A and B are shown apart, each in its own frame.
Chain A
């Protein structure tokens, strides 16, 4: 409930911002709101300069794909968006990543607050060793929701949102480990939805899944983008082309090209992008 209120507050703020833009170029009227604005962002792992002068805007209700060869900084970037990179002790950053206009690296920005807005799904499904129900109810319980009826509603809504309700509704009390890899990943997505985030970060969410489960997760991403902004790191070029609206190509810690996915996969501006998406390196 708290999150819903916070989301509404954000919406109000966004509307105000939109009204300020009236009178700008016509092309700007269809411009979506920026969820994450990255400005001249740099990140070092010790001496290694892993992200260099990143400037990237993640827009509301877009699926933004991050592509690039191993070690290019794409996972580092996505982990910077919810400050998970801080778990690495030798990390140093400068520049800004603004979530809804506020720099997430400000000293007084509570990481817990950020992560209620920004959920994450990982490469390997990582359900808790608990029942399906408890996996989903875990987040809301932490946020103080104890009423069984409210929790039941959240669990059902989240499982429906992750397109897995029909498969698990009759065995909610069974251990989530008993599900297939594809089902476990959708449970993790449902767990993420249960706290009503604003943004969902996905780090290679289908790389450990079979083709049918991959397809289900891809379809789910398409459905979810109506209500959430999604950032997805993927090694699968076809997946990026299929499901994303915008694509950023990272190489050696830099953003080589960021554009509409259709443009990136048909007529990229930079030869390095063309070479990478055509499989000539990477």
Chain B
């Protein structure tokens, strides 16, 4: 069994995973920016390019399955492969949320925002910061950074609660704006889910290093 070849193959798959992470997080930022700028063209483009990230994730899955078949890793090596599959799936989901936000942006169209979206912007900033941080932690296999993610997630959850409260209050004050309020509530939910996915990946990293499961979402 050639372990050098295994290590090289694994590093190559990890590089692909990092590319997937970059693409998904970039797509999320791009999609949110399109929302703020009311850039419908970019939003439509993001929806069109949805399949790219999906194909990338499928490619990673195929390579991991081939590595498992050929090299039959155990212990940390096996966990690294399993964690890679799960993390790739979560990062692909971040790409899906970017597409969902783009669809909401298209639905809102050129209508002015009925409320300040500053809190939403802060939320998105925090969520993308979490995603970037977990990618760094993943590269370094740094469990301390992974644990910090949980604290950031609590902040995002709090922002989410406040934003939803703000939108619910508005819905009774401006019933005619319920469609946009619903669009913004969905966007809010998508961003909060992206932060949760970063936390999931932090949990996978802890599992990879310690061989035990941790729940950072509670």
Contacts and interface: CB of A to CB of B under 8 A. Distances in A.
A126 interface: no
> Which has the most chain B C-beta neighbours within 10 Å: A265, A274, A278, A280?
A278
Interface in B188-218: 210-212
B185 to A, nearest CB: 43
B77 interface: yes
A265 B212 CA distance: 14
Contact of A277 (B74, B79, B212): B74
Given A238-B72, A268-B75, A278 B3 contact: yes
B74 A266 contact: yes
B8 interface: no
A238 B72 CA distance: 8
A280 B75 contact: no
Contacts of B3: 278-280
Nearest to B6: A279
Contacts of B210: 267
A70 to B, nearest CB: 15
A241 interface: yes
A282 to B, nearest CB: 10
Contacts of B162: none
A215 to B, nearest CB: 16
B1 interface: yes
B72 A278 contact: no
B211 A278 contact: no
A267 B75 CA distance: 6
B76 interface: yes
B146 to A, nearest CB: 18
A172 interface: no
Interface in B1-58: 1, 3, 6
Interface residues of B, number: 14
Interface string A75-91: 00000000000000000
> Which has the most chain A C-beta neighbours within 10 Å: B1, B6, B74, B210?
B74
Which of under 10, 10 to 19, 20 to 34, or 35 or more describes the interface residues of A? 10 to 19
Interface string A260-282: 00000111100000100111100
Contacts of A268: 75
A274 B76 CA distance: 8
A69 B83 CA distance: 29
Contacts of A238: 72
A280 B3 CA distance: 6
A237 interface: yes
B213 to A, nearest CB: 12
Given A278-B3, A280-B3, A266 B72 contact: no
B75 A279 contact: no
A241 B72 CA distance: 11
B105 to A, nearest CB: 45
B75 A237 contact: no
Nearest to A273: B75
A237 B73 CA distance: 10
A278 B6 CA distance: 10
Nearest to B77: A278
A72 to B, nearest CB: 18
A237 B211 contact: no
A55 to B, nearest CB: 24
Contacts of A274: 75-76
Nearest to A238: B72
Nearest to B72: A238
A274 B74 CA distance: 8
Nearest to B212: A267
Interface in B170-202: none
B1 A265 contact: no
Nearest to A264: B75
Contacts of A241: 74
Contacts of B74: 237, 241, 265-266, 277-278
Given A267-B75, A267-B212, A280-B3, 17 more contacts: A237-B74, A238-B72, A241-B74, A265-B75, A266-B75, A266-B78, A267-B210, A267-B211, A268-B75, A274-B75, A277-B75, A278-B3, A278-B74, A278-B75, A278-B77, A279-B1, A279-B3
11 contacts: A241-B74, A265-B74, A266-B78, A266-B211, A267-B75, A267-B211, A274-B75, A274-B76, A278-B73, A279-B6, A280-B3
Interface of A: 237-238, 241, 265-268, 274, 277-280
Please list the 7 inter-chain residue pairs (A to B) with the smallest Cβ-Cβ separation, ordered nearest first.
Answer: A267-B211, A279-B1, A279-B3, A265-B74, A277-B74, A278-B77, A274-B75
